[in-house]
A and B are shown apart, each in its own frame.
Chain A
Amino acid sequence: SAVISQKPSRDICQRGTSLTIQCQVDSQVTMMFWYRQQPGQSLTLIATANQGSEATYESGFVIDKFPISRPNLTFSTLTVSNMSPEDSSIYLCSVTTGESFFGPGTRLTVL
């Protein structure tokens, strides 16, 4: 199993600003992902965070809006840039070690 922590757990931000979310895992993992869960909705994959190379984004998500860093096998960040109210969601970090584990999420509200 893997224990995942995320910071911050929640934040309220003004439109036009950016927020960086951190994800820390208690063990080295190869596969790390970022998901978004809009209010009352299910989860949608944003991107795969690749260690040592650029993240791989899913359709509808771009690097300029959601830049991702993955400096090592235990840590990743997701930035939500130039935020608008439509970005209000829960952002979740996930790792896969055969099975998938999720962090507690970061609840973002954009005013």
Chain B
Amino acid sequence: TQLLEQSPQFLSIQEGENLTVYCNSSSVFSSLQWYRQEPGEGPVLLVTVVTGGEVKKLKRLTFQFGDARKDSSLHITAAQPGDTGLYLCAGEMDSSYKLIFGSGTRLLVRP
């Protein structure tokens, strides 16, 4: 059973389009992190959200943590080919530092 459901699994869009990736769970997380992974590399942390309802912006990326700390979303505005990669959400339970990863979203931004 996947504790963190991530959708969509695959996304192919044209440069300049907007997109949203969702991460949902029935469990409450003490924090939720978003990573981007490129082939041959480990995941790179984009953001950590901790407070329910929190919104963080990183240039064209907007991250939101649900009020109940069970879900999160990543919105990319005006996607660029450099945004191509595997996006992973990961929840931390019980402040244990152990991460449960979502299934991932493979994003392809076509020029």
Contacts and interface: CB of A to CB of B under 8 A. Distances in A.
Given A42-B104, A100-B33, A92 B97 contact: no
Interface of A: 4, 31, 33, 41-45, 48, 58, 92, 94, 96, 99-105, 107
9 contacts: A31-B97, A33-B97, A33-B98, A41-B104, A43-B101, A92-B43, A100-B97, A102-B43, A105-B40
A17 to B, nearest CB: 24
A43 B97 contact: no
Interface in B75-101: 88, 90, 97-101
A107 B41 CA distance: 10
Given A42-B88, A43-B88, A99-B48, A104 B42 contact: yes
A103 B99 contact: no
Contacts of A105: 40-42
